[in-house]
Chain A
Amino acid sequence: MRFRTILFICISVFFSFILQTTLFKVLAFGGISPNLLLLIVALFGLMFGRKVGLMTGFFAGLFIDMFFGSSLCFYALIYMYIGYMNGFFHRLFFNDDIKLPIALIAMSDLVYCLVIYILTFLLRGRFHFGHYFLHIILPEIAYTVILSLFLCPFLIWAGNRLNQKPKGSLNID
Chain B
Amino acid sequence: MSNDLIRQYETKLNQLTFNSRPIIDELTIVAKDNPIIADQIVDLIKNRIYKAVPDQKLFILYLLDSICKTVGNPYNIFIADEVYDLYTHVFQFLNDTLRNKMVNLLNTWKEMKTISNDPLFPEEELAKIEEFIKKAGYPKNIIPEAQQLLINDITQIIPIFENKIKTNPTPKLQERYTALGQLKTMLSNQVITPAELAAVQNHLHNIKQQELRNSNTPTPAATPAPTPAQVTQPPIQVQVAQVVEPQRQASLPPKPQSRPQTNSGPPSLPPVPQIPKINIAIGLFNDLLLSGLVKKDQEPIPGSKPTYSLVFPETKYSPMSNNEEVSISQLEDILLASSGVARSEYEKLKFGEILTISKKTKTNDQLQQFINSNKPSSSMINLLYEDKPKKCPTCGKRFTDDTDGLTKHRLHFDWHFRINKKISTKGGNIQSRNWYLDDYDWVHFKDENLLEFSTTETIMATPEVEMNVTQPGSQYVVVPPNDTNMINRCVICREQVKATYNDEVGEWCWLDCIRVPGEPKNSRKIVHISCFNESNKKRSAETELNTNVKREKL
User: Are both chains from one complex?
Assistant: no
